[in-house]
Amino acid sequence: MSWIVLIASGVLEAVWATALGKSDGLTKLWPSVTFFVALAISMFGLAFAMRDISTGTAYAVWVGIGASLTVIWAMITGDTEISWLRILLLMGLVGCIVGLKLIDTGHE
């Protein structure tokens, strides 16, 4: 259950990061509301997951999912250029995240 919550929280990290970028310095109402709601839920989910998953692994997975999805979304929407190098680097990031999950022994 902790891994499912952690993955969902990582997705919400991408949501709040994207919303923060669209909020124009927290001056636009709905992107700002989306930012604060997604941020709160994402943080609570991370905290919940850290009860069973070691802090280093949980945080790395959370940030990695959020960062990867944020970049992927930016490429899909045209905010960031699509390049093979960017895709290769994202694949490396995802590979490292999977590796951390595979070697995790649980809460320390």
Compute the distance between CA of residue 74 and CA of residue 64 in angstroms, rounded to an integer: 15
Quote the tokens at residue 27: 């001056």
Calculate the CA 51 to chain-centre distance. 18
Which secondary structure element, helix H or strand E, spans residue 8, and what is its range? helix 2-22
Mean pLDDT, rounded, for 30-42: 98
Mean pLDDT, rounded, for 69-87: 96
Question: Residue 21: which residues within 8 A CB-CB, separation 6 or more?
Answer: none
pLDDT the model gives residue 86 = 96
**pLDDT > 90? residue 102:** no
Quote the tokens at residue 22: 């669209």
Q: What percent of the chain has pLDDT over 90?
A: 86
The more confidently predicted of residues 101 and 87 is 87
